Each structure stands twice: as structure tokens, then as C-alpha cells.
Structure 1
Amino acid sequence: MILRSLANKASDPGDDQQSTMQQPEASVRQKEEEDRRVAAAALAEAAAFEEAVESERREVRKELDTRTQPLSPVQRTCEYVQQHARPYFAELQFEVETQ
């Protein structure tokens, strides 16, 4: 089979010229196809990166939104003191010393 194809190439020089003409064209097509695959992969990677960034932004916004998070023990204590201690301290008379 290989011998036949070699014999055919040797006997027909016109085919050899045509095949050398087709090789650059095939090479160009192959390069274009590879470029398309690389571009598609880069586009998919960029889309995945953008989705990851947007997901991270949503998480950060969620963390920064204190209305949705429960108050910490320190915050609860501060609010309790502010609400309940004012009336108590309002009744006390404070003396202010001046020099």
C-alpha cells in the first residue's frame, strides 16, 4: 500500500506540485483552527474568571451588609447599655470640678 502511494507520487509530478500547494493552505487552515480553539478556550477562561470574581463580590457585599448579620456580643452589650443605662444615669447628680 505504501509502495503504491510512493509509486503514484513518483510517476505523477503534477500531483506532487499540487500537494505542495495544498500543504501551505492546509497549514493555514490548521493554524486558523488552532487559533479559534485557543481563542475559545481563552474566552471560556475569561468567562469563568468573571463569574468567580462576581461571586466573590457578592460574598463580600453579603459580609459587609451588617443588617443581615446578627450583632456580636459586644454590639449587643453596647446597645443594651445605651438603652437601659441612660435613665439610671439621668437621675444621678454629677458634680463637675473646675479649676
Structure 2
Amino acid sequence: MPATHRTLSAQTTTDTAADLCRFAELVARAGLEPDLKRRYTSDPAAVFAEFGLLGAEPVYTVPSLLIEDLGRPDAAATTLLTGIPYAV
């Protein structure tokens, strides 16, 4: 099965709870304050900075997270479960 590997840095995992709280506040206030929603739509990086959030994709390092493609059957598992070879 094809798989996608992603990793998380230690800093990313330790700052996650605080970042999630700040992001939740941003989402709630944007829903209640039309001006904040307009500013976020026009310049999201500035609004993220205002709330103490990074406006960029984090850099993933270690440990590794494996995401498997579950859309196609695995030939070895199919043969093991059914006894019939699966032609891919």
C-alpha cells in the first residue's frame, strides 16, 4: 500500500494546546465580529500574528506519522484472509 509520511517536531506538540485555544478564540470572534472576519479574509497572516499564531505551515520533523492509502486492498492481507491471491 502506498503511504504518506509526516513528522511532528517537539515544539509543535508542546505548543499545540495553547495554539488551539488561540485559534478557537479567533474562530469564535470571527463568527461574532464582522470586522475581524473581513480582516481575516483580506489578510489572514496579520490576524494570525495578532492572535499569536503562525501564518505558515509548520515544519514537520520527528516522530513520524504514517498515513496509509486504505482505498485499495492490500494483496498480502487479502490472500491471508481469503486464501485467494488478489490480482492488483
Normalised to the residue count of structure 2, the TM-score between the two structures is 0.24
Task: Return the index of the structure with the highest Cα Rg.
Answer: 1
Bigger fraction of residues in helix: 1
Higher strand share: 2
